[in-house]
Amino acid sequence: MRTLIILTFLAVLVMAATCYESRESMESHEHFYPFINRRRANDFIQADTRLGAITQERIRERTKAPHERQREICEDYYPCELYAYRHGYAAAYKHYFGKRRTK
């Protein structure tokens, strides 16, 4: 019984310590009116900019830089990839695909 009283007292103390409402939180304007109007809510997000960024990303995916294409070609050919680990992708591409060897 004594243990139950002590545990209840400790639980009340923990609850009082964690649920205490400070005066600083009462000073906030959000406490009295937590909602803002629609115009202010959307001020920080601009749909046109976001859609433009998505469009630019899609364009960049379609048109890759030459060194990116060379790197992908080199990654598909295992000896070139091994050479690239040691000397870099630019040197590996030049070594294996730079000059087309003809008989």
Look at residue 83 and tell me if it is in a domain: yes
In a domain, 59, yes or no: no
- How many domains is the chain partitioned into structurally? 1
Residue 41 falls inside a structural domain? no
Give me the DSSP letters along 59-97. HHHHS--HHHHHHHHHHHSHHHHHHHHHH-HHHHHIIII
Q: What integer is the mean pLDDT of 45-62?
A: 71
- Is 57 inside a domain boundary? no
Mean per-residue pLDDT of the chain: 78
Q: Looking at the domain assignment, is residue 84 inside a domain?
A: yes
Which of these ranges, 5-9, 12-16, 39-43, 74-78, has the smallest mean pLDDT?
39-43
Could you list the residue range(s) of the whole structural domain that residue 74 is in? 65-102
pLDDT tens sequence across 64-81? 788 888 888 898 999 999
Residue 61 token pair? 């995916």
Residue 87 has pLDDT above 90, yes or no: yes
pLDDT grade for 20, boundaries at 50, 70 and 90: low
* Res 88 pLDDT > 70: yes
